[in-house]
Amino acid sequence: MTVSRAANRVLVLNSGSSSVKYQLLDMADASRLAVGLVERIGEETSRLKHTPLTGGGAEARVFEGPIADHKAALEAVAAELAKDGLGLDSPELAAIGHRVVHGGTKFTQPTVVDAEVLAELEQLVPLAPLHNPANVTGIEVARAIRPDLPQVAVFDTAFHATMPEAAYRYAIDRETADALSIRRYGFHGTSHAYVARETAKLLGKAPEETNVIVLHLGNGASASAVRGGVCVDTSMGLTPLEGLVMGTRSGDLDPAVIFHLARVGGKSVDEIDALLNKKSGLIGLCGDNDMREILRRRDEGDASAALAFDVYIHRLKKYIGAYTAVLGRIDAVAFTAGVGENSTPVREAAIAGLEELGLALDGERNAVRGDEPRLISADYARVAVAVVPTDEELEIATQAYALVTG
Ligand code: AMP
């Protein structure tokens, strides 16, 4: 399905189980025309916040009241967009880009969704039971509203599909692993792809010639090793639970902890799942998952907050070292997402003591806040350290637009 280049808007939808985040972008200049969020879908207290960004004003409009389901949510979004002359019936809309968390091994590229693809996405639900069903619902609802328009699925796992088997295969019985599709997939792929490319741009180098360690540190967190624009390893695995210490997820642990929790702790599989995904990481260590709050408490002498910070940084350093070894030579370490973009102390602690790896920060540069990609390394450092704000919506829109305009 190819669309005319005169149609240059893309609506990006990120559909969660009870929320829909959206952005309408104009691909002529990559600008935002509107952004918004529908929350608590299915409850009495649903909320739609819509911010038009055209015409100079950025006054948000808020609707509060019941929004029964995702269909009603998207219809409400369409009605808000129409008020600004940006309705979904516009011929200027080229595509709707959908964030889909898990593409399995099948979907390694952005894909126009038809009935067959939808059926295949349904089959991937066991790999991402919390995310994919909502992503699929979002696509179905958008298709019902504009059946003539390309619905493009952009997968969180896709950028990591280039990992060599040595990186993606777990050292467990091969038959069992293959029968159950157990392997490393990796997530946050649109962010890692975008940030690796923007980092090369910042260095004035071609992505094909640039080796980058990307540290996506948000509430979820993951690291990736990118060689010449191609992902060769990443810290999240079969699910987003593996790797770095996160807001509420444990990241790496001895798998036998799970047997111990079951046999000695008497916990069920669902209880262990909830413990490791929702009650571990920073929140498990100190009761807070917001890095700002943890730093405030640490600075006031709170020992559990200080420990949570130390565990978080220790793990981060291990991955920087490991991925330096995987890549052999690195041009840059790039920090992104909520913590990575904003937390001067996290960046300072993560890079401290890594001079032998060619890494050193400039304290003043690291302290500067900003929305633009920037270098924070010391002039004498062999390897650049960068802060690169991520833009997953722009990346999804760019990939979707490129696909439909051929
Ligand atoms: P994200 O998932 O990318 O939206 O990131 C969310 C996380 O970013 C939250 O856990 C916040 O603690 C963190 N964050 C946002 N602003 C700051 C800041 N100024 N300093 C430290 N952490 C921050």
Per-residue model confidence (pLDDT) at position 372: 96
Q: Dihedrals φ, ψ of 132, to 5°?
A: -60, -35
What pLDDT was estimated at residue 55?
Answer: 72
Q: Which atom of ligand 1 is nearest to the CA of 219?
A: 2
Same domain, 229 and 371: yes
Strands 111-112 and 151-155: antiparallel
Same domain, residue pair 210 and 288: yes
What three-state secondary structure class fits 316? Answer: helix
For residue 289, which atom of ligand 1 is closest to its CA?
A: 10
Determine the pLDDT at residue 57.
65
Residues 222, 368 within the same domain: yes
Do 271 and 342 belong together in one domain?
A: yes
Q: How far apart are the first and last CA of the chain?
A: 9
Ligand 1 pocket, residue 229 CB under 6 Å = no
CATH number at residue 145: 3.30.420.40
Tokens of 299: 């600075």
Q: Is any ligand 1 atom within 6 A of the Cβ of residue 343?
A: yes
Residue 405 inside a domain? The answer is: no
Among 155, 173, 189, the domain-final residue is 155
Are 211 and 107 within one domain?
no
Kindly state if the Cβ of 219 falls inside 6 Å of ligand 1.
Answer: yes
Instruction: Select from 130, 155, 180 the last residue of a domain.
Output: 155
Position in ligand 1 atom list of the atom nearest CA 220: 2
In a domain, 172, yes or no: no
Alpha carbon of 115 to ligand 1 centroid (Å): 38
CA-based nearest residue to 143, from 110, 135, 396: 135
Q: Strand, helix or coil at 397?
A: helix
Residue 189 within a domain? no
Q: Specify the number of domains making up the chain.
A: 2
Q: Which own/partner pairs from 72-78 qualify as long-range (CB within 8 Å, at least 24 positions apart)?
A: 72/41, 73/20, 73/38, 73/41, 73/46, 73/48, 73/141, 74/13, 74/20, 74/138, 74/141, 74/142, 74/145, 75/145, 76/38, 76/48, 77/20, 77/22, 77/36, 77/38, 77/48, 77/50, 78/145
Q: CA 298, CA 199: separation in Å to the nearest integer?
A: 32
CA distances from 360 to 170, 202, 326, 349, 379 (A): 33, 18, 20, 11, 9
Q: Are residues 132 and 244 in the same domain?
A: no
Same domain (yes/no): 151, 209: no
Among 136, 155, 174, residue at a domain's last position: 155
Note the pLDDT of residue 130: 83
**For residue 3, what pLDDT is reported?**
59
Q: Is residue 404 part of a domain?
A: no
Q: Please indicate, yes or no, whether residues 208 and 275 belong to a single structural domain of this protein.
A: yes
Give the 3-state secondary structure of 110-154: CEECCHHHHHHHHHCHHHCCCCHHHHHHHHHHHHHHCCCCCEEEE
* Distance between Cα 3 and ligand 1 center (Å): 38
Range of the domain at 311: 204-392
Q: Is 197 within a domain?
A: no
Q: How far is the CA of 181 from the centre of ligand 1 (A)?
A: 33
Q: State the 10-residue block means of pLDDT for the chain, 406 residues long.
A: 73 94 96 95 94 82 94 93 91 96 95 95 90 92 93 97 98 97 97 98 98 97 98 97 97 98 98 97 98 98 98 98 98 98 98 98 97 97 98 97 94
Closest listed residue to residue 96, CA positions, set 141, 48, 145, 149: 149
Ligand 1 center to 327 CA (angstroms): 28
pLDDT number for residue 11: 97
Residue 69 lies in a domain: yes
pLDDT of residue 223: 98
Residues with a known catalytic role: 156
Claim to verify: residue 234 and residue 311 sit in the same structural domain: yes
**Residue 6 has what pLDDT?**
76
Angstrom distance (rounded) from CA 22 to CA 324: 36
Q: Enumerate the known binding-site residues for Mg(2+).
A: 14, 392
In a domain, 398, yes or no: no
C-alpha to C-alpha distance for 147 and 394, rounded to whole angstroms = 23
Predicted pLDDT at 280: 98
pLDDT of residue 79: 94
Kindly provide the residue ranges of all beta strands, DSSP E only, lying in 27-113, ordered along the sequence.
31-39, 47-52, 61-64, 93-100, 111-112
Residue 199 included in any domain: no
Residue list for the binding site: 14, 21, 99, 216-220, 290-292, 338-342, 392
- In this structure, the answer to whether residues 123 and 260 fall within a common structural domain is no
- Residue 382: CB within 6 Å of ligand 1? no
